[in-house]
Amino acid sequence: MTMACRSGCGACCIAPSVSEPFFGMPEGKPAGMPCTHLSEDFACKLFGDPRRPAMCSQFMAEESVCGFDRRDALARLALLEIESQPVRS
């Protein structure tokens, strides 16, 4: 179920990796590292900007991913990042 993003959360701007280069981060963003466009109050400074990565623009907050608070969201998104990595042989 889609929900409104929590003010002051920013978990989706920290936990996941962004593999594509984007404005201000030409190498992409590693998992667990805050995006360079995350403000001090944990808001996206590129929100609504066409330079924002497609995966960020397409992200829809929902309880199953964002949990009950910021800490829960960081943990859930970190786990999804790990679980979505390709299996290495």
* pLDDT (0 to 100) of residue 59: 93
The average pLDDT across 28-43 equals: 97
Note if the pTM is more than 0.85.
yes
In a domain, 5, yes or no: no
Q: Which residue carries 């590693």 as its tokens? A: 30
Q: What are phi and psi of 38, to 5 degrees?
A: -85, 125
Report the percent of the chain where pLDDT is more than 70.
100
Contact 89, 29 (CB under 8 A): no
In a domain, 89, yes or no: no
Domain extent for 70: 11-83
In a domain, 26, yes or no: yes
CA distance 57 to 50: 9
Half-sphere exposure of 25 (CA within 13 A, CB side): 20
In a domain, 2, yes or no: no
Cβ atoms within 10 Å, residue 76? 18
In a domain, 34, yes or no: yes
